[in-house]
Structure 1
Amino acid sequence: MQTVTINQRVLAAVGLGTWHMGDDPAKRTTEIQALQAGIKAGAQVIDTAEMYGNGKAERLVAEAIKPFDRQDLFIIDKVLPQHASHAQLEQSLDRSLRNVGTDYFDLYLLHWRGQVPLAETVAELERVKQAGKIRAWGVSNFDVADLKELYALPNGDNCAANEDLYNLDRRGIEYDLLAWQKDHGLPLIAYSPVAQGDTLSGRLTADPTLQKLAAQHQATVYQIMLAWTIRCGNTLTIPQTGNPEHARQNVAAGELEFSDAELLELERAFPSPRQKQPLATI
Protein backbone atom coordinates (compact mmCIF):
# COMPACT_ATOMS: atom_id res chain seq x y z
CA MET A 1 0.00 0.00 0.00
CA GLN A 2 1.35 3.41 -0.98
CA THR A 3 1.71 5.78 1.97
CA VAL A 4 2.09 9.50 2.64
CA THR A 5 3.35 11.23 5.78
CA ILE A 6 1.36 14.14 7.19
CA ASN A 7 2.33 15.75 10.49
CA GLN A 8 4.72 12.83 11.16
CA ARG A 9 1.90 10.31 10.72
CA VAL A 10 2.36 7.62 8.08
CA LEU A 11 -0.97 7.11 6.34
CA ALA A 12 -2.41 4.98 3.56
CA ALA A 13 -2.25 7.25 0.50
CA VAL A 14 -5.90 6.66 -0.44
CA GLY A 15 -8.42 8.26 1.89
CA LEU A 16 -12.16 8.85 1.83
CA GLY A 17 -13.76 12.05 0.62
CA THR A 18 -17.25 13.14 1.71
CA TRP A 19 -18.21 16.01 -0.60
CA HIS A 20 -21.90 15.66 -1.63
CA MET A 21 -22.47 12.96 1.00
CA GLY A 22 -25.23 13.23 3.58
CA ASP A 23 -27.51 15.34 1.41
CA ASP A 24 -30.03 12.62 0.49
CA PRO A 25 -31.64 10.81 3.46
CA ALA A 26 -32.48 7.87 1.17
CA LYS A 27 -28.75 7.28 0.57
CA ARG A 28 -27.62 7.73 4.18
CA THR A 29 -27.36 4.06 5.15
CA THR A 30 -25.45 3.10 2.01
CA GLU A 31 -23.12 6.09 2.34
CA ILE A 32 -22.29 5.12 5.92
CA GLN A 33 -21.63 1.58 4.74
CA ALA A 34 -19.34 2.94 2.02
CA LEU A 35 -17.23 4.88 4.51
CA GLN A 36 -17.06 1.87 6.82
CA ALA A 37 -16.12 -0.42 3.92
CA GLY A 38 -13.28 1.94 3.01
CA ILE A 39 -11.98 1.99 6.57
CA LYS A 40 -12.16 -1.79 6.84
CA ALA A 41 -10.25 -2.04 3.55
CA GLY A 42 -7.40 0.01 4.99
CA ALA A 43 -8.24 3.69 4.61
CA GLN A 44 -7.36 5.83 7.61
CA VAL A 45 -8.19 9.31 6.37
CA ILE A 46 -11.68 10.80 6.17
CA ASP A 47 -11.87 14.27 4.63
CA THR A 48 -14.90 16.43 5.35
CA ALA A 49 -15.83 20.10 5.80
CA GLU A 50 -18.38 22.35 7.46
CA MET A 51 -19.47 23.47 3.98
CA TYR A 52 -20.47 19.97 2.84
CA GLY A 53 -24.24 20.00 3.21
CA ASN A 54 -23.96 22.60 5.97
CA GLY A 55 -22.75 19.94 8.39
CA LYS A 56 -24.66 16.97 6.98
CA ALA A 57 -21.49 15.27 5.77
CA GLU A 58 -19.84 15.81 9.15
CA ARG A 59 -22.78 14.18 10.92
CA LEU A 60 -22.64 11.29 8.45
CA VAL A 61 -18.97 10.81 9.34
CA ALA A 62 -19.93 10.73 13.03
CA GLU A 63 -22.21 7.76 12.39
CA ALA A 64 -19.72 5.98 10.17
CA ILE A 65 -16.79 6.09 12.59
CA LYS A 66 -18.66 4.85 15.68
CA PRO A 67 -17.49 1.20 15.37
CA PHE A 68 -13.82 2.19 15.01
CA ASP A 69 -11.06 3.31 17.34
CA ARG A 70 -10.69 7.07 16.91
CA GLN A 71 -6.91 6.78 17.36
CA ASP A 72 -6.69 4.65 14.21
CA LEU A 73 -8.35 7.32 12.08
CA PHE A 74 -7.07 10.61 10.66
CA ILE A 75 -9.94 13.06 10.29
CA ILE A 76 -9.60 16.21 8.20
CA ASP A 77 -12.09 19.05 8.45
CA LYS A 78 -12.20 22.52 6.87
CA VAL A 79 -13.26 25.99 7.92
CA LEU A 80 -14.97 28.35 5.50
CA PRO A 81 -12.96 31.51 4.74
CA GLN A 82 -15.64 33.78 6.19
CA HIS A 83 -15.33 31.91 9.48
CA ALA A 84 -11.52 31.92 9.59
CA SER A 85 -11.24 34.98 11.83
CA HIS A 86 -10.37 35.66 15.44
CA ALA A 87 -14.06 36.13 16.18
CA GLN A 88 -15.42 33.03 14.45
CA LEU A 89 -12.84 30.31 13.77
CA GLU A 90 -13.05 28.56 17.12
CA GLN A 91 -16.86 28.68 17.07
CA SER A 92 -16.87 26.99 13.67
CA LEU A 93 -14.32 24.46 14.84
CA ASP A 94 -16.34 23.60 17.95
CA ARG A 95 -19.48 23.13 15.85
CA SER A 96 -17.64 20.81 13.47
CA LEU A 97 -16.17 18.83 16.36
CA ARG A 98 -19.67 18.34 17.78
CA ASN A 99 -21.01 17.31 14.38
CA VAL A 100 -18.28 14.69 13.90
CA GLY A 101 -18.47 13.56 17.53
CA THR A 102 -14.80 13.96 18.31
CA ASP A 103 -12.77 16.23 20.57
CA TYR A 104 -10.01 16.91 18.04
CA PHE A 105 -9.25 16.90 14.33
CA ASP A 106 -6.01 15.49 13.03
CA LEU A 107 -5.87 18.21 10.39
CA TYR A 108 -7.93 21.41 10.01
CA LEU A 109 -7.78 23.28 6.72
CA LEU A 110 -8.64 26.78 5.57
CA HIS A 111 -11.01 25.77 2.75
CA TRP A 112 -9.94 28.62 0.45
CA ARG A 113 -8.73 32.19 0.78
CA GLY A 114 -11.22 34.88 1.65
CA GLN A 115 -11.22 38.40 3.09
CA VAL A 116 -9.77 37.52 6.49
CA PRO A 117 -6.01 38.28 6.56
CA LEU A 118 -3.90 35.13 6.43
CA ALA A 119 -1.93 36.26 9.48
CA GLU A 120 -5.12 36.40 11.55
CA THR A 121 -6.20 32.94 10.40
CA VAL A 122 -2.77 31.44 11.10
CA ALA A 123 -2.74 32.95 14.58
CA GLU A 124 -6.13 31.39 15.32
CA LEU A 125 -5.12 28.02 13.90
CA GLU A 126 -2.03 28.04 16.08
CA ARG A 127 -4.11 28.98 19.12
CA VAL A 128 -6.63 26.15 18.70
CA LYS A 129 -3.76 23.76 18.02
CA GLN A 130 -2.18 24.73 21.33
CA ALA A 131 -5.57 24.19 22.96
CA GLY A 132 -5.54 20.60 21.69
CA LYS A 133 -8.57 20.92 19.44
CA ILE A 134 -6.55 20.18 16.31
CA ARG A 135 -3.31 18.25 15.88
CA ALA A 136 -2.21 20.23 12.80
CA TRP A 137 -3.53 22.77 10.32
CA GLY A 138 -3.21 23.34 6.61
CA VAL A 139 -4.75 25.05 3.62
CA SER A 140 -6.77 24.24 0.52
CA ASN A 141 -6.97 25.73 -2.97
CA PHE A 142 -3.61 27.51 -2.54
CA ASP A 143 -1.21 28.13 -5.41
CA VAL A 144 2.52 28.89 -5.21
CA ALA A 145 2.05 32.62 -4.60
CA ASP A 146 -0.41 31.90 -1.79
CA LEU A 147 1.96 29.43 -0.14
CA LYS A 148 4.90 31.84 -0.40
CA GLU A 149 2.81 34.51 1.29
CA LEU A 150 1.76 32.01 3.95
CA TYR A 151 5.32 30.85 4.66
CA ALA A 152 6.47 34.46 5.10
CA LEU A 153 4.12 34.85 8.08
CA PRO A 154 4.95 33.98 11.70
CA ASN A 155 4.28 30.22 12.08
CA GLY A 156 3.17 30.04 8.45
CA ASP A 157 5.60 27.22 7.81
CA ASN A 158 3.71 25.10 10.34
CA CYS A 159 1.29 24.36 7.51
CA ALA A 160 0.99 20.56 7.31
CA ALA A 161 -0.66 20.08 3.90
CA ASN A 162 -2.26 21.80 0.92
CA GLU A 163 -5.38 20.34 -0.70
CA ASP A 164 -5.91 21.07 -4.40
CA LEU A 165 -7.79 19.74 -7.40
CA TYR A 166 -5.57 17.16 -9.13
CA ASN A 167 -6.28 14.43 -11.64
CA LEU A 168 -5.22 13.32 -15.12
CA ASP A 169 -7.51 15.94 -16.61
CA ARG A 170 -6.25 18.75 -14.38
CA ARG A 171 -2.45 18.62 -14.18
CA GLY A 172 -1.79 22.35 -13.95
CA ILE A 173 -0.23 22.19 -10.48
CA GLU A 174 2.63 20.10 -11.87
CA TYR A 175 4.13 23.15 -13.58
CA ASP A 176 5.47 24.68 -10.36
CA LEU A 177 3.30 23.96 -7.33
CA LEU A 178 4.13 20.29 -6.81
CA ALA A 179 7.86 20.98 -7.03
CA TRP A 180 7.55 23.85 -4.55
CA GLN A 181 5.67 21.65 -2.11
CA LYS A 182 8.18 18.84 -2.47
CA ASP A 183 11.06 21.25 -1.83
CA HIS A 184 9.33 22.45 1.33
CA GLY A 185 8.24 19.01 2.53
CA LEU A 186 4.57 19.95 2.17
CA PRO A 187 2.26 17.05 1.23
CA LEU A 188 -0.48 17.45 -1.36
CA ILE A 189 -4.04 16.29 -0.77
CA ALA A 190 -5.65 15.63 -4.16
CA TYR A 191 -9.37 16.27 -4.31
CA SER A 192 -11.61 15.07 -7.15
CA PRO A 193 -8.87 12.62 -8.23
CA VAL A 194 -11.20 10.77 -10.59
CA ALA A 195 -12.62 14.04 -11.96
CA GLN A 196 -15.90 13.54 -10.10
CA GLY A 197 -16.60 10.24 -11.80
CA ASP A 198 -15.27 11.63 -15.09
CA THR A 199 -17.98 14.29 -15.23
CA LEU A 200 -15.55 17.21 -15.67
CA SER A 201 -14.58 16.40 -19.27
CA GLY A 202 -16.14 12.99 -19.90
CA ARG A 203 -13.08 11.78 -21.77
CA LEU A 204 -11.32 9.62 -19.20
CA THR A 205 -13.29 6.40 -18.87
CA ALA A 206 -13.35 5.91 -22.64
CA ASP A 207 -9.67 6.70 -23.13
CA PRO A 208 -7.89 3.75 -24.80
CA THR A 209 -4.66 4.19 -22.82
CA LEU A 210 -6.51 4.08 -19.51
CA GLN A 211 -8.57 1.12 -20.65
CA LYS A 212 -5.43 -0.73 -21.74
CA LEU A 213 -3.67 -0.12 -18.42
CA ALA A 214 -6.78 -1.14 -16.50
CA ALA A 215 -6.85 -4.45 -18.37
CA GLN A 216 -3.14 -5.02 -17.80
CA HIS A 217 -3.47 -4.43 -14.04
CA GLN A 218 -6.83 -6.20 -13.74
CA ALA A 219 -8.20 -2.96 -12.37
CA THR A 220 -10.86 -0.39 -13.18
CA VAL A 221 -10.10 2.81 -15.06
CA TYR A 222 -10.88 4.71 -11.86
CA GLN A 223 -8.29 2.68 -9.95
CA ILE A 224 -5.68 3.57 -12.58
CA MET A 225 -6.59 7.23 -12.23
CA LEU A 226 -6.27 7.08 -8.45
CA ALA A 227 -2.98 5.20 -8.49
CA TRP A 228 -1.57 7.80 -10.87
CA THR A 229 -2.30 10.68 -8.46
CA ILE A 230 -0.20 9.07 -5.69
CA ARG A 231 2.64 7.81 -7.89
CA CYS A 232 5.22 10.27 -6.48
CA GLY A 233 4.78 9.45 -2.79
CA ASN A 234 3.97 12.94 -1.45
CA THR A 235 0.23 12.85 -2.13
CA LEU A 236 -2.88 11.76 -0.28
CA THR A 237 -5.81 11.20 -2.65
CA ILE A 238 -9.39 11.41 -1.40
CA PRO A 239 -11.95 9.93 -3.81
CA GLN A 240 -15.59 10.15 -2.79
CA THR A 241 -18.14 7.40 -3.26
CA GLY A 242 -21.37 6.32 -1.65
CA ASN A 243 -20.96 2.77 -2.98
CA PRO A 244 -19.32 0.27 -0.59
CA GLU A 245 -17.77 -1.83 -3.37
CA HIS A 246 -16.36 1.26 -5.06
CA ALA A 247 -14.91 2.35 -1.71
CA ARG A 248 -13.08 -0.97 -1.41
CA GLN A 249 -11.83 -0.65 -4.98
CA ASN A 250 -10.60 2.89 -4.33
CA VAL A 251 -8.54 1.82 -1.35
CA ALA A 252 -7.15 -1.16 -3.28
CA ALA A 253 -5.84 1.29 -5.89
CA GLY A 254 -3.17 2.21 -3.35
CA GLU A 255 -1.49 -1.12 -4.12
CA LEU A 256 -1.03 -0.41 -7.84
CA GLU A 257 2.34 0.65 -9.20
CA PHE A 258 3.31 1.68 -12.72
CA SER A 259 6.38 0.93 -14.76
CA ASP A 260 8.30 3.79 -16.35
CA ALA A 261 6.91 2.73 -19.72
CA GLU A 262 3.34 2.88 -18.42
CA LEU A 263 3.90 6.34 -16.95
CA LEU A 264 5.25 7.45 -20.32
CA GLU A 265 2.10 6.17 -21.99
CA LEU A 266 -0.01 8.21 -19.60
CA GLU A 267 2.16 11.26 -20.20
CA ARG A 268 1.59 10.96 -23.93
CA ALA A 269 -2.16 10.58 -23.49
CA PHE A 270 -2.46 13.35 -20.89
CA PRO A 271 0.51 15.71 -21.29
CA SER A 272 1.84 17.63 -18.30
CA PRO A 273 1.58 21.44 -18.53
CA ARG A 274 4.18 23.37 -20.49
CA GLN A 275 3.31 26.75 -18.98
CA LYS A 276 1.79 28.23 -15.85
CA GLN A 277 -1.96 27.75 -15.60
CA PRO A 278 -4.54 29.35 -13.29
CA LEU A 279 -5.18 27.12 -10.28
CA ALA A 280 -8.04 24.77 -11.14
CA THR A 281 -10.85 24.63 -8.59
CA ILE A 282 -14.37 23.26 -8.34
Structure 2
Amino acid sequence: MTFAPTATLHDGTLMPRLGMGTWYLGEGRRSERTEIAALRAGLDAGMRLIDTAEMYGDGAAESLVGSAIDGYDRSRLFLVSKVYPHNAGRSSLRRSLESSLRRLNTDYLDMYLLHWRGSVPLAETVECMESVKADGLIANWGVSNFDTSDMRELFAVPGGDGCAVNQDLYHLGSRGVEFDLLPWMRDHGVPLMAYCPLAQAGSLRAGLANSSVVCEVAAAHKATPMQILLAFVLCRDEVVAIPRSGTADHVLANWAAREIELTADECAALDSAFPAPDHKVPLDME
Protein backbone atom coordinates (compact mmCIF):
# COMPACT_ATOMS: atom_id res chain seq x y z
CA MET A 1 0.00 0.00 0.00
CA THR A 2 1.62 3.25 -1.18
CA PHE A 3 2.06 6.02 1.37
CA ALA A 4 0.04 9.18 0.71
CA PRO A 5 2.14 12.07 2.08
CA THR A 6 -0.73 14.39 3.00
CA ALA A 7 -4.28 14.34 4.29
CA THR A 8 -6.76 16.92 3.03
CA LEU A 9 -8.58 18.99 5.64
CA HIS A 10 -12.12 20.30 5.14
CA ASP A 11 -10.85 23.67 3.86
CA GLY A 12 -8.51 22.07 1.35
CA THR A 13 -5.38 22.45 3.49
CA LEU A 14 -2.89 19.63 2.99
CA MET A 15 -1.67 18.28 6.32
CA PRO A 16 1.49 16.14 6.42
CA ARG A 17 0.66 12.57 7.46
CA LEU A 18 3.91 11.84 9.28
CA GLY A 19 5.35 14.18 11.85
CA MET A 20 7.18 14.44 15.13
CA GLY A 21 5.56 14.28 18.55
CA THR A 22 7.10 16.01 21.56
CA TRP A 23 5.46 14.40 24.61
CA TYR A 24 8.12 14.22 27.38
CA LEU A 25 10.59 16.32 25.41
CA GLY A 26 12.13 19.26 27.20
CA GLU A 27 11.88 17.52 30.57
CA GLY A 28 15.50 16.54 31.09
CA ARG A 29 15.32 12.93 29.90
CA ARG A 30 17.95 13.85 27.34
CA SER A 31 20.02 16.95 26.83
CA GLU A 32 18.37 19.90 25.17
CA ARG A 33 21.02 19.75 22.47
CA THR A 34 20.15 16.12 21.68
CA GLU A 35 16.41 16.80 21.44
CA ILE A 36 16.84 19.92 19.30
CA ALA A 37 19.16 17.96 17.02
CA ALA A 38 16.51 15.24 16.73
CA LEU A 39 13.82 17.70 15.64
CA ARG A 40 16.19 19.40 13.21
CA ALA A 41 17.21 16.04 11.74
CA GLY A 42 13.55 15.42 10.97
CA LEU A 43 13.09 18.88 9.48
CA ASP A 44 16.20 18.50 7.34
CA ALA A 45 14.96 15.10 6.11
CA GLY A 46 11.63 16.57 5.01
CA MET A 47 9.33 16.19 8.02
CA ARG A 48 7.27 19.36 8.36
CA LEU A 49 4.73 18.50 11.07
CA ILE A 50 5.56 18.99 14.76
CA ASP A 51 2.97 18.32 17.45
CA THR A 52 3.24 19.74 20.95
CA ALA A 53 1.08 21.10 23.79
CA GLU A 54 1.14 23.64 26.59
CA MET A 55 0.87 20.69 28.98
CA TYR A 56 4.12 19.05 27.84
CA GLY A 57 6.72 19.99 30.42
CA ASP A 58 4.56 22.96 31.41
CA GLY A 59 5.54 24.69 28.18
CA ALA A 60 9.07 23.31 28.00
CA ALA A 61 8.33 21.23 24.90
CA GLU A 62 6.94 24.26 23.08
CA SER A 63 10.06 26.25 23.98
CA LEU A 64 12.22 23.40 22.71
CA VAL A 65 10.33 23.38 19.41
CA GLY A 66 10.71 27.16 19.20
CA SER A 67 14.47 26.77 19.47
CA ALA A 68 14.56 23.87 17.00
CA ILE A 69 12.67 25.69 14.24
CA ASP A 70 14.72 28.88 14.51
CA GLY A 71 16.17 29.61 11.09
CA TYR A 72 13.73 27.39 9.17
CA ASP A 73 11.14 28.69 6.71
CA ARG A 74 8.01 28.98 8.85
CA SER A 75 5.72 28.81 5.82
CA ARG A 76 6.90 25.27 5.14
CA LEU A 77 6.20 24.02 8.67
CA PHE A 78 2.97 22.63 10.11
CA LEU A 79 2.87 23.40 13.83
CA VAL A 80 0.25 21.88 16.14
CA SER A 81 -0.27 22.65 19.81
CA LYS A 82 -2.99 21.98 22.37
CA VAL A 83 -4.80 23.94 25.05
CA TYR A 84 -5.61 22.58 28.50
CA PRO A 85 -9.36 21.98 28.98
CA HIS A 86 -9.49 24.48 31.85
CA ASN A 87 -7.97 27.11 29.55
CA ALA A 88 -10.39 26.45 26.68
CA GLY A 89 -12.93 29.18 27.50
CA ARG A 90 -13.44 32.90 26.97
CA SER A 91 -11.35 33.87 29.99
CA SER A 92 -8.23 31.91 29.07
CA LEU A 93 -8.01 30.42 25.57
CA ARG A 94 -6.60 33.46 23.81
CA ARG A 95 -4.10 34.07 26.60
CA SER A 96 -3.00 30.43 26.55
CA LEU A 97 -2.63 30.51 22.78
CA GLU A 98 -0.57 33.70 22.88
CA SER A 99 1.71 32.12 25.49
CA SER A 100 2.16 29.06 23.27
CA LEU A 101 2.98 31.27 20.30
CA ARG A 102 5.63 33.12 22.29
CA ARG A 103 7.26 29.87 23.39
CA LEU A 104 7.14 28.53 19.84
CA ASN A 105 8.52 31.79 18.47
CA THR A 106 5.81 32.03 15.81
CA ASP A 107 2.85 34.28 15.17
CA TYR A 108 0.36 31.55 14.23
CA LEU A 109 -0.37 27.85 14.57
CA ASP A 110 -1.42 25.63 11.71
CA MET A 111 -3.60 23.64 14.12
CA TYR A 112 -4.79 24.24 17.68
CA LEU A 113 -6.44 21.41 19.60
CA LEU A 114 -8.57 21.09 22.71
CA HIS A 115 -6.43 18.57 24.58
CA TRP A 116 -9.38 16.71 26.11
CA ARG A 117 -12.89 17.50 27.26
CA GLY A 118 -13.29 19.45 30.46
CA SER A 119 -15.91 21.57 32.18
CA VAL A 120 -15.94 24.40 29.63
CA PRO A 121 -18.98 23.94 27.34
CA LEU A 122 -18.08 22.83 23.81
CA ALA A 123 -20.05 25.76 22.38
CA GLU A 124 -17.84 28.21 24.28
CA THR A 125 -14.63 26.51 23.13
CA VAL A 126 -15.83 26.48 19.52
CA GLU A 127 -16.65 30.19 19.76
CA CYS A 128 -13.17 30.92 21.11
CA MET A 129 -11.46 28.76 18.48
CA GLU A 130 -13.34 30.48 15.68
CA SER A 131 -12.47 33.88 17.14
CA VAL A 132 -8.72 33.29 17.21
CA LYS A 133 -8.95 31.72 13.76
CA ALA A 134 -10.67 34.82 12.41
CA ASP A 135 -7.85 36.90 13.91
CA GLY A 136 -5.23 34.83 12.10
CA LEU A 137 -3.67 33.31 15.22
CA ILE A 138 -4.53 29.79 14.04
CA ALA A 139 -5.26 28.38 10.60
CA ASN A 140 -7.43 25.50 11.85
CA TRP A 141 -8.60 23.94 15.09
CA GLY A 142 -9.51 20.49 16.29
CA VAL A 143 -9.87 18.26 19.33
CA SER A 144 -8.06 15.42 21.06
CA ASN A 145 -9.18 12.33 22.98
CA PHE A 146 -12.73 12.60 21.61
CA ASP A 147 -14.79 9.47 21.02
CA THR A 148 -17.70 9.08 18.62
CA SER A 149 -20.33 10.45 21.01
CA ASP A 150 -18.09 13.46 21.72
CA MET A 151 -17.68 14.14 18.01
CA ARG A 152 -21.42 13.92 17.42
CA GLU A 153 -22.02 16.34 20.27
CA LEU A 154 -19.36 18.69 18.93
CA PHE A 155 -20.83 18.70 15.44
CA ALA A 156 -24.26 19.52 16.86
CA VAL A 157 -22.87 22.77 18.32
CA PRO A 158 -23.02 25.85 16.05
CA GLY A 159 -19.70 25.97 14.24
CA GLY A 160 -18.65 22.59 15.64
CA ASP A 161 -18.32 21.16 12.16
CA GLY A 162 -15.33 23.46 11.76
CA CYS A 163 -13.32 20.85 13.66
CA ALA A 164 -10.50 19.84 11.32
CA VAL A 165 -8.93 16.85 13.12
CA ASN A 166 -9.28 14.61 16.16
CA GLN A 167 -6.17 13.29 17.90
CA ASP A 168 -6.47 9.93 19.67
CA LEU A 169 -4.23 7.09 20.76
CA TYR A 170 -3.97 4.52 17.97
CA HIS A 171 -1.55 1.69 17.29
CA LEU A 172 -1.57 -1.98 16.33
CA GLY A 173 -2.25 -3.04 19.91
CA SER A 174 -4.98 -0.43 20.52
CA ARG A 175 -7.50 -0.39 17.69
CA GLY A 176 -10.69 0.68 19.45
CA VAL A 177 -11.00 3.75 17.21
CA GLU A 178 -11.63 1.45 14.25
CA PHE A 179 -15.02 0.21 15.49
CA ASP A 180 -17.12 3.33 14.94
CA LEU A 181 -14.96 6.43 15.47
CA LEU A 182 -12.78 6.15 12.36
CA PRO A 183 -15.78 5.38 10.10
CA TRP A 184 -17.67 8.37 11.54
CA MET A 185 -14.69 10.66 11.05
CA ARG A 186 -14.14 9.38 7.53
CA ASP A 187 -17.77 10.12 6.66
CA HIS A 188 -17.39 13.66 8.00
CA GLY A 189 -14.01 14.39 6.43
CA VAL A 190 -12.09 14.57 9.72
CA PRO A 191 -8.62 12.95 9.72
CA LEU A 192 -7.35 11.15 12.81
CA MET A 193 -4.06 12.22 14.37
CA ALA A 194 -2.62 9.07 15.93
CA TYR A 195 -0.54 9.68 19.01
CA CYS A 196 1.66 6.91 20.43
CA PRO A 197 1.52 5.01 17.09
CA LEU A 198 4.44 2.91 18.34
CA ALA A 199 2.78 2.33 21.73
CA GLN A 200 4.43 3.57 24.90
CA ALA A 201 7.43 1.84 26.43
CA GLY A 202 6.56 -1.18 28.55
CA SER A 203 5.15 -4.67 28.23
CA LEU A 204 2.61 -3.77 25.53
CA ARG A 205 5.22 -2.21 23.29
CA ALA A 206 7.58 -5.13 23.89
CA GLY A 207 4.81 -7.57 23.06
CA LEU A 208 4.11 -5.84 19.79
CA ALA A 209 7.75 -5.45 18.80
CA ASN A 210 8.58 -9.06 19.69
CA SER A 211 5.54 -10.56 17.98
CA SER A 212 6.52 -13.25 15.50
CA VAL A 213 4.19 -11.76 12.88
CA VAL A 214 5.59 -8.25 13.27
CA CYS A 215 9.14 -9.59 13.18
CA GLU A 216 8.45 -11.65 10.05
CA VAL A 217 7.00 -8.65 8.24
CA ALA A 218 9.93 -6.52 9.38
CA ALA A 219 12.42 -9.06 8.07
CA ALA A 220 10.67 -9.15 4.71
CA HIS A 221 11.11 -5.39 4.37
CA LYS A 222 14.57 -5.22 5.96
CA ALA A 223 12.96 -2.93 8.52
CA THR A 224 12.68 -2.79 12.30
CA PRO A 225 9.54 -3.93 14.15
CA MET A 226 8.93 -0.32 15.20
CA GLN A 227 8.90 0.72 11.56
CA ILE A 228 6.30 -1.95 10.81
CA LEU A 229 4.09 -0.67 13.64
CA LEU A 230 4.29 2.81 12.13
CA ALA A 231 3.67 1.54 8.60
CA PHE A 232 0.53 -0.24 9.84
CA VAL A 233 -0.93 3.02 11.15
CA LEU A 234 0.05 4.86 7.97
CA CYS A 235 -1.77 2.33 5.79
CA ARG A 236 -4.94 4.38 6.29
CA ASP A 237 -4.90 7.54 4.20
CA GLU A 238 -7.09 9.37 6.73
CA VAL A 239 -4.61 8.85 9.58
CA VAL A 240 -1.78 11.22 10.53
CA ALA A 241 0.94 9.75 12.77
CA ILE A 242 3.04 11.72 15.26
CA PRO A 243 5.55 9.32 16.86
CA ARG A 244 7.71 10.83 19.57
CA SER A 245 11.45 10.53 19.51
CA GLY A 246 14.17 12.41 21.27
CA THR A 247 17.08 11.24 19.11
CA ALA A 248 17.98 11.90 15.51
CA ASP A 249 18.39 8.19 14.71
CA HIS A 250 14.86 7.39 15.89
CA VAL A 251 13.36 10.33 14.01
CA LEU A 252 15.05 9.27 10.78
CA ALA A 253 13.97 5.66 11.28
CA ASN A 254 10.39 6.85 11.70
CA TRP A 255 10.66 8.93 8.54
CA ALA A 256 11.97 5.95 6.58
CA ALA A 257 8.89 3.92 7.59
CA ARG A 258 6.81 5.87 5.08
CA GLU A 259 8.57 3.95 2.29
CA ILE A 260 7.36 0.57 3.57
CA GLU A 261 4.52 -0.76 1.43
CA LEU A 262 2.74 -3.51 3.30
CA THR A 263 1.08 -6.13 1.12
CA ALA A 264 -2.54 -7.18 1.53
CA ASP A 265 -1.35 -10.50 2.97
CA GLU A 266 0.90 -8.75 5.48
CA CYS A 267 -1.91 -6.46 6.58
CA ALA A 268 -4.17 -9.49 6.96
CA ALA A 269 -1.56 -11.27 9.07
CA LEU A 270 -1.12 -8.26 11.35
CA ASP A 271 -4.87 -7.89 11.58
CA SER A 272 -5.27 -11.53 12.56
CA ALA A 273 -2.55 -11.35 15.21
CA PHE A 274 -3.86 -8.11 16.72
CA PRO A 275 -7.52 -7.86 15.71
CA ALA A 276 -9.64 -4.76 16.05
CA PRO A 277 -12.51 -5.11 18.55
CA ASP A 278 -15.86 -6.28 17.19
CA HIS A 279 -17.76 -4.13 19.71
CA LYS A 280 -17.52 -0.68 21.23
CA VAL A 281 -14.72 -0.28 23.77
CA PRO A 282 -13.53 2.79 25.72
CA LEU A 283 -10.76 4.74 24.04
CA ASP A 284 -7.30 4.04 25.40
CA MET A 285 -5.25 6.93 26.73
CA GLU A 286 -1.59 6.78 27.74
Question: Normalising by the residue count of structure 1, what TM-score does the alignment of the two structures yield?
Answer: 0.97
Contact 1:198/1:204 (8 A) holds in 2: no
Residue matched to 1:2:
4
Contact 2:89/2:128 (8 A) holds in 1: yes
Letter in 1 for 2:165: A
Contact 1:136/1:160 (8 A) holds in 2: yes
RMSD: 1.2
Residue matched to 2:212:
208
Q: 1:95 aligns with which of 67, 85, 99?
A: 99
Contact 1:12/1:42 (8 A) holds in 2: no
The answer to whether 1:227 aligns with 2:222 is no
Matches within 5 A, 1:120-159: 120-159=124-163
Residue matched to 1:245:
249
Partner of 1:196: helix, strand, or coil? coil
Q: CA separation in 2, counterparts of 1:168 and 1:79?
A: 28
Letter in 2 for 1:234: E
Q: CA separation in 2, counterparts of 1:230 and 1:204?
A: 16
Letter in 1 for 2:215: Q
Identity of aligned residues (%): 48
Matches within 5 A, 1:43-122: 43-122=47-126
Partner of 2:136: helix, strand, or coil? coil
Contact 2:83/2:97 (8 A) holds in 1: yes
Deviations, residues 199-235 of structure 1 (Å, cap 9, x unaligned):
5453111111111111111111111101111111001
Q: CA separation in 1, counterparts of 2:30 and 2:161?
A: 43
In the TM superposition, what is the alpha-carbon distance from 1:120 to its structure 2 partner? 0.3
Letter in 2 for 1:217: H
Select between 63-72 and 17-26 the one with higher mean Cα deviation.
17-26
Q: CA separation in 2, counterparts of 1:239 and 1:250?
A: 7
Q: CA separation in 1, counterparts of 2:251 and 2:167?
A: 20
Contact 2:30/2:246 (8 A) holds in 1: no
In the TM superposition, what is the alpha-carbon distance from 1:245 to its structure 2 partner? 0.9
Structure 1 unaligned residues grouped into runs of 5+: none
Report the CA distance shift for 1:170/1:262 in structure 2 as closer, same or farther (over 3 A): same
